[in-house]
Amino acid sequence: MTKNSGWVTGAIVMQCLWAFVLLALPAYLLLLTRSSAILSEQDATEAISGLKIAAAILVLPALVAAAASIGLLKSKLWGWWLGLVGDFAIVGLLAYSMLDDGWRNPDRELAGLTAGAALPLVFLLLPVVRKAYWRSTVLDGASGVEAGAWKIQARESHPRQS
């Protein structure tokens, strides 16, 4: 395992925390289906089925975020791409939900959630983080000829000091 910069470690931690939140949310919604407050409502069956549907919908983004976390921990480019696409999709959906009543009437509660969901995305887009994952792919995943050419090019661009 290579030593990562603080920003890369921060991106990994943020993605892991985001995956944990997304995995915990469906479990929490399913726990709510058994709460006395929900069961005592007049239309409890509708509320329970709504909570179950919401939990089922949230499982896919949670699994994507968890897979991205694993890829980032292993320093894989696919983990970076999966995190980028998954986080962008979630932030886009939250931003759309926040602004679905128009620009002049944003949902203030969703604004905080959208900003929080954007943090892992911002970390992934930092140049130092992006370069770390792209560089590791070029060095580790290139074919023999390409890797040899990369090493020669790296030696020529950084000659040793004598």
**Residue pLDDT, tens place only, 23-51:** 999 999 999 999 888 888 888 889 899 99
Cα–Cα distance measured from residue 79 to residue 146, given in angstroms and rounded to the nearest whole number? 22
So what's the pLDDT on residue 100?
79
Cα–Cα distance measured from residue 88 to residue 86, given in angstroms and rounded to the nearest whole number? 5
Q: Is residue 94 one of the residues assigned to a domain?
A: yes
Q: Is residue 1 one of the residues assigned to a domain?
A: no
Q: Is residue 162 one of the residues assigned to a domain?
A: no
Neighbours of 62 (CB within 10 A): 22
Q: Is residue 78 one of the residues assigned to a domain?
A: yes
Residues sharing a CB contact under 8 Å with residue 96, sequence separation 6 or more, in sequence order: none
Domain hosting residue 29, numbered range: 6-157
Q: Give how many domains the chain has, as a whole number.
A: 1
Q: Is residue 51 one of the residues assigned to a domain?
A: yes
So what's the pLDDT on residue 149?
47
Q: Is residue 143 one of the residues assigned to a domain?
A: yes
DSSP conformational letter for 10: H
Q: What is the pTM of this model?
A: 0.75
Q: Is residue 125 one of the residues assigned to a domain?
A: yes
pLDDT tens-digit series, residues 86-141: 999 999 999 888 887 777 777 778 888 899 999 999 999 999 999 998 875 555 55
So what's the pLDDT on residue 42?
86
Alpha helices per DSSP H over 35-142: 36-39, 44-73, 77-98, 108-125, 127-141
